[in-house]
C-alpha cells in the first residue's frame, strides 16, 4: 500500500540547510533519516517509536507530502487516500462543532443535495427522455450514497464526537469558543470521520482523558484503515499496534508485535549485538597486541599476516541501545505517619467538581488521581497544596511535611536565565557544584546547563523542572502531569525514580502505564462520587470489570474514602505499616539481587588474592554483614507486603 525507499533527511549544517519542524527541533548535522526504507501493508497498524528528536514527526510530514526529503521516494498505491493528524489545523471560527464534523462528509452531502434536486426535476419533467436521463443520474447518486453509508452520517458524527469527549451540549458551540484541547480533539474527530485508507497519527491521545483514549483504541482496532501512529501512550501502543518500527540514529528497524513485544525483542537484539561486539573487540585486541609485540622480532612475518587480517575485518558497530536519561531524587527526610489528612473536601466553580472527599495519605505511599477531563483533578491538587481555598472541608499536613510541587505548565520565573540558575532553590545557597549535581541526576549535563531556559525543548524543560523540584529537598512530591513531553525511555526512568523515592508522592497523570507503575493507591474522581483503590491501575481495571469486589463503603454514595473507609467498612483497623508500600514482585526481585550479592561476597572470602590482604578481608566481611542485615530487613518488608497489600 505504501513503500518508503531510501529516504534521507539532514538538519543543520550538511546536505540540507532546513530547520527542524514540529516537536523535534534540529540540533545536529547528523542524518535524521539515513537511507530509511520500509513498507506499510494494507490493514497493518504500525507503531513508530524512538527517543525525542529522532525524527518521527519529520518522517510523518514527509509521508504526508508536507515536507521534502533530501533523497529517496515515497511510493503510494493508486487511489489510496491519506489522512494526517495535524496538531494545529486552521478552522473557521464561526462554524460550530457539529458543522465542522459534517465537513468530513462534504462530498457525500453534496451527492445527497444533488439527489434531492434530481428527484425534484424528475417530478416536474414531462419529457420521457429527460426523465430517463435524470433517473439514471439519481440511481448513480443513490448507489454512491449507499456505498458511503451516507444515511448514517449524523449517527457517525454523534458517535465520534461523544467518543472523544464532546458533550452533546457542545455540538452547537462555535469553534472560537473552544479550548485548545477541544480544538485538537475536533481535528482528530474530523480525521476519523473522513475514513482515509492510511491514517498517520502524531500523538493522537494528547488532550484526551483516559475514557476517550480507551474509546480511540477500540475505534482504531476495529477500523479498516492502515495505521502509522506516533504516541507516548504505552497502553495505546500495546492495544493497537501489530508491528513496531524503531527510528533511532537515522535508521529504521522493524519488530513484530506491539510495544511490549518490541521492548522484549529490542533487549534480545541489543544483547546479541553486545556479545558480538565484545567478541570482535577481544579478537581485535589480541591481534593488535600480537602485532605490537612481534613487529620487529622473529615473528615479524606472522605479525604482518595478522596486520593484513586486521585490515580485512569488517568492524561490528556498537550495540544500538537507547539509553534512558538519569533521574533521581535525594533521600527524603522522615515525616509523621499521616502525611495528608483530607476531610469532607468540596469545591465548585460554575458547577460542583467534587464534594465530601475524605482520605488519609500515609508516609511512603504513592497516590495517583484519576478522573475525566474537567472533573477537578488539578483543582484538588491545588487544594491539597493550600493554593486554592475549598468551599468546604479542610486539608491538614502531618509532622515534618515538606511539599514540592511540579506544575504541568513548566513555567520559570525568568526564561532568559541559565538552566544552572533556574534550579536554585529559595531556601538555601546551593552552590554551582550542587546545582550541576542535581541537574546531572536528570540527564542535564555539559553545555546544556549554561543554555537559557527558553532554548530548551519540551522534554528538556520537563527534566529541568524535575531537577528544580529535587533541589527543594521535599519529602512529599505533588506532580501534575509529570510525563508531559517525556519520551518513552524518560518515562520509564521517572517511574523507577518515583518507585525508589522514600518519601510520599501524589500525582495526576493521563498516562495509564505510568499510573500502573508508579501508584500503589488511586483516588478515582467521578461526577457523583470519589472512591479509593488500594492498589495499582491493574487493580482498578479489575474492580471496574467486576473481577474484584469493592469495599462495601465505596458503594454508598458520598462517603469517607481511603484508609478510614477501610476501617469503617471492616469494623477494625488494619495493622500499621512498618515499611513504605512496595509491590511484592519488586521486593522479590531485590531479594534475589541481594542474595546473589551475598553469594559473590562468600566467594570472594575464599579467593587467595583476598585472603592474602587483611584489609580487603575486613572490607568484604563488613560488606557481607551489612548485606545480610539488609536481606533480613527485605524479608520483613516482603512478609508485611504479603499481608497488607491484598
Is 16 a domain residue? Answer: yes
171 lies in the same domain as 109: yes
Q: For 176, which DSSP code?
A: G
Say if residues 178 and 186 touch (Cβ distance below 8 Å).
Answer: yes
Lowest mean pLDDT among 7-11, 277-281, 293-297, 568-572: 568-572
Q: Which of 179, 207, 231 lies at the terminal end of a domain, its last residue?
A: 179
Residue 445 CA to residue 423 CA, distance in Å, equals 13
Work out the angle at residue 443's Cα, subtended by the Cα atoms of residues 438 and 446, and round it to the nearest 5 degrees. Answer: 85
413 lies in the same domain as 544: yes
Q: Looking at the predicted structure, is the pLDDT value of residue 90 above 90?
A: no
60 lies in the same domain as 116: no
Q: Which residues contact 606 (CB under 8 A, 6 or more apart)?
A: none
376 lies in the same domain as 448: yes
Average the pLDDT over 431-450 and give the result. Answer: 87
Average the pLDDT over 510-521 and give the result. Answer: 95
Q: Looking at the predicted structure, is the pLDDT value of residue 28 above 50?
A: no
| φ, ψ for residue 372, nearest 5 deg | -65, 165
Instruction: Say how many CA atoms lie within 13 Å of 33 toward its Cβ.
Output: 29
| Helices 180-194 and 153-163, packing angle to 10 deg | 140
**pLDDT band for position 468 (cuts 50, 70, 90):** very high
- The three state secondary structure string of 227-296 is EEEECCCHHHHHHHCCEEEEEECCEEEEEECCHHHHHHHHHHHHHHHHHHHHHHHHHHHHHHHHHHHHCC
Average the pLDDT over 518-535 and give the result. Answer: 92
What average pLDDT is seen over the chain?
A: 85
558 lies in the same domain as 421: yes
Q: Against a cut of 0.85, is the pTM above it?
A: no
Q: Looking at the predicted structure, is the pLDDT value of residue 563 above 90?
A: no
Buried b (16+ CB within 10 A) or exposed e, 350-360: eeebbbbbbbb
306 lies in the same domain as 227: no
Work out the angle at residue 18's Cα, subtended by the Cα atoms of residues 13 and 22, and round it to the nearest 5 degrees. Answer: 120
Residue 537 CA to residue 520 CA, distance in Å, equals 8
538 lies in the same domain as 470: yes
227 lies in the same domain as 308: no
Amino acid 13: pLDDT: 52
Q: Looking at the predicted structure, is the pLDDT value of residue 497 above 90?
A: yes
Is 425 a domain residue? Answer: yes
174 lies in the same domain as 200: no
Domain tally, the chain = 5
Is 57 a domain residue? Answer: yes
C-alpha cell at 544: 471496574
Average the pLDDT over 15-37 and give the result. Answer: 56
Is 638 a domain residue? Answer: yes
203 lies in the same domain as 175: no
Q: In Å, how far from its chain's centre is CA 517? A: 12
Q: Looking at the predicted structure, is the pLDDT value of residue 50 above 60?
A: yes
* Per-residue pLDDT tens over the stretch 192-215: 999 999 999 999 998 888 999 999
Closest CA to 9 of 48, 66, 47: 66
Is 556 a domain residue? Answer: yes
Is 319 a domain residue? Answer: no
Q: Which of 536, 570, 604 lies at the terminal end of a domain, its last residue?
A: 570
Lowest mean pLDDT among 5-14, 177-186, 331-340, 575-584: 575-584
Is 525 a domain residue? Answer: yes
Q: For 137, which DSSP code?
A: H
Residue scoring higher pLDDT (30 or 222): 222
CATH number of the domain within which 453 lies: 3.40.50.300
Residue 57 CA to residue 59 CA, distance in Å, equals 5
Average the pLDDT over 123-130 and give the result. Answer: 86
* Per-residue pLDDT tens over the stretch 567-615: 322 334 456 677 787 887 788 788 888 888 888 888 788 777 877 788 8
The H-assigned helical ranges of 605-644 are: 608-611, 614-644
- Per 3-state DSSP, the chain is made up of helix, strand and coil in percentages (nearest 5) of 45, 20, 35
169 lies in the same domain as 240: no
Q: Identify the domain containing residue 165 by its residue range.
A: 93-179
The helix (H) or strand (E) run that includes residue 215 is helix 210-222
Is 332 a domain residue? Answer: no
- The three state secondary structure string of 566-609 is HHHHHCCCCCCCCCCCCCHHHHHHHHHHHHHHHHHHHHHCCCHH
Lowest mean pLDDT among 142-156, 161-175, 253-267, 362-376: 142-156
Residue 131 CA to residue 146 CA, distance in Å, equals 22
Q: For 174, which DSSP code?
A: B
Say if residues 445 and 371 touch (Cβ distance below 8 Å).
Answer: no
Through-space distance between the first and last CA atoms of the chain, rounded to whole angstroms? 50
Q: Looking at the predicted structure, is the pLDDT value of residue 481 above 80?
A: yes
446 lies in the same domain as 482: yes
Q: Which of 127, 144, 179 lies at the terminal end of a domain, its last residue?
A: 179
Buried b (16+ CB within 10 A) or exposed e, 546-573: eeeeebebbeeeebbbbbbbbeebeeee
* Per-residue pLDDT tens over the stretch 141-162: 888 888 877 778 889 999 999 9
Amino acid at each position: 500500500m505504501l513503500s518508503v525507499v531510501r529516504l534521507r533527511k539532514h538538519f543543520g549544517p550538511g546536505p540540507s540547510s532546513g530547520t527542524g519542524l514540529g516537536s523535534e527541533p534540529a540540533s545536529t548535522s547528523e542524518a535524521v533519516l539515513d537511507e530509511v526504507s520500509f513498507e506499510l501493508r494494507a490493514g497493518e497498524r504500525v507503531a513508530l517509536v524512538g527517543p525525542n528528536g529522532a525524527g518521527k514527526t519529520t518522517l510523518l510530514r514527509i509521508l504526508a507530502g508536507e515536507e521534502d526529503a533530501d533523497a529517496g521516494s515515497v511510493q503510494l498505491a493508486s487511489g489510496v487516500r491519506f489522512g494526517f493528524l495535524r496538531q494545529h489545523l486552521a478552522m473557521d471560527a464561526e462554524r460550530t462543532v457539529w458543522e465542522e464534523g459534517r465537513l468530513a462528509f462534504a462530498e457525500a452531502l453534496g451527492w445527497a443535495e444533488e439527489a434531492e434536486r434530481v428527484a425534484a426535476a424528475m417530478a416536474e419533467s414531462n419529457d420521457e427522455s429527460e426523465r430517463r436521463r435524470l433517473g439514471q443520474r439519481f440511481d448513480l447518486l443513490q448507489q454512491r450514497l449507499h456505498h458511503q453509508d451516507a444515511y448514517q452520517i449524523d449517527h457517525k458524527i454523534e458517535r465520534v464526537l461523544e467518543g472523544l469527549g464532546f458533550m452533546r451540549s457542545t455540538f452547537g458551540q462555535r469553534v472560537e469558543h473552544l479550548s485548545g484541547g477541544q480544538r485538537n480533539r475536533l481535528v482528530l474527530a474530523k480525521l476519523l470521520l473522513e475514513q482515509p485508507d492510511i491514517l498517520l497519527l502524531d500523538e493522537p491521545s494528547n488532550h484526551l482523558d483516559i475514557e476517550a483514549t480507551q474509546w480511540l483504541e477500540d475505534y482504531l482496532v476495529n477500523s479498516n484503515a492502515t495505521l502509522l501512529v506516533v504516541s507516548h501512550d504505552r497502553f495505546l501502543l500495546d492495544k493497537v499496534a501489530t508491528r513496531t518500527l524503531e527510528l533511532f540514529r537515522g535508521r529504521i528497524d522493524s519488530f513484530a508485535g506491539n510495544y511490549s513485544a518490541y521492548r522484549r525483542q529490542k533487549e534480545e537484539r541489543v544483547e546479541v549485538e553486545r556479545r558480538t561486539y565484545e567478541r570482535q573487540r577481544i579478537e581485535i585486541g589480541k591481534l593488535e597486541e600480537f602485532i605490537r609485540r612481534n613487529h620487529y622480532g622473529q615473528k615479524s612475518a606472522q605479525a604482518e599476516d595478522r596486520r593484513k587480517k586486521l585490515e580485512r575485518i569488517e568492524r561490528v558497530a556498537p550495540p544500538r541501545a537507547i539509553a534512558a536519561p538519569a533521574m533521581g531524587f535525594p533521600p527524603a527526610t522522615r515525616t509523621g505517619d499521616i502525611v495528608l489528612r483530607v476531610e469532607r473536601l468540596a469545591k465548585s466553580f460554575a458547577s460542583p467538581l467534587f464534594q465530601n472527599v475524605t482520605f488519609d495519605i500515609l508516609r511512603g505511599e504513592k497516590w495517583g488521581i484519576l478522573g475525566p477531563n474537567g472533573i477537578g483533578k488539578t483543582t484538588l491538587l491545588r487544594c491539597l497544596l493550600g493554593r486554592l481555598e475549598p468551599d468546604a472541608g479542610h486539608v491538614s499536613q502531618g509532622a515534618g511535611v515538606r511539599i514540592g510541587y511540579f506544575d504541568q505548565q513548566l513555567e520559570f520565573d525568568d526564561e532568559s536565565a541559565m538552566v544552572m540558575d533556574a534550579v536554585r532553590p529559595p531556601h538555601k545557597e546551593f552552590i554551582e557544584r550542587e546545582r550541576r549535581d542535581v541537574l546531572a541526576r536528570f540527564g542535564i549535563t555539559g553545555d546544556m546547563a549554561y543554555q537559557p531556559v527558553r532554548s530548551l525543548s519540551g522534554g528538556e524543560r520537563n527534566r529541568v523542572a524535575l531537577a528544580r523540584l529535587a533541589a527543594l529537598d521535599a519529602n512529599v512530591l505533588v506532580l501534575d502531569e509529570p510525563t508531559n513531553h517525556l519520551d518513552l525511555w524518560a518515562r520509564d526512568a521517572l517511574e523507577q525514580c518515583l518507585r525508589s523515592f522514600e518519601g510520599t508522592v501524589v500525582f495526576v497523570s493521563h498516562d495509564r502505564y505510568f499510573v500502573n507503575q508508579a501508584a500503589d493507591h488511586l483516588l478515582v474522581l467521578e461526577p457523583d462520587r470519589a472512591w479509593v483503590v488500594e492498589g495499582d491501575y491493574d487493580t482498578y481495571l479489575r474492580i471496574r470489570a467486576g473481577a474484584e469486589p469493592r469495599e462495601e463503603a465505596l458503594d454508598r454514595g458520598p462517603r469517607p474514602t481511603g484508609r478510614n473507609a477501610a476501617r469503617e467498612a471492616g469494623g477494625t483497623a488494619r495493622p500499621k505499616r512498618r515499611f513504605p508500600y512496595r509491590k511484592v514482585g519488586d521486593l522479590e526481585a531485590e531479594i534475589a539481587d541481594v542474595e546473589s550479592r551475598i553469594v559473590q561476597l562468600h566467594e570472594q572470602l575464599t579467593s587467595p588474592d583476598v585472603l592474602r590482604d587483611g584489609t580487603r578481608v575486613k572490607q568484604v566481611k563488613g560488606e557481607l554483614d551489612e548485606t545480610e542485615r539488609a536481606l533480613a530487613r527485605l524479608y520483613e518488608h516482603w512478609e508485611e507486603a504479603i499481608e497488607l497489600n491484598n
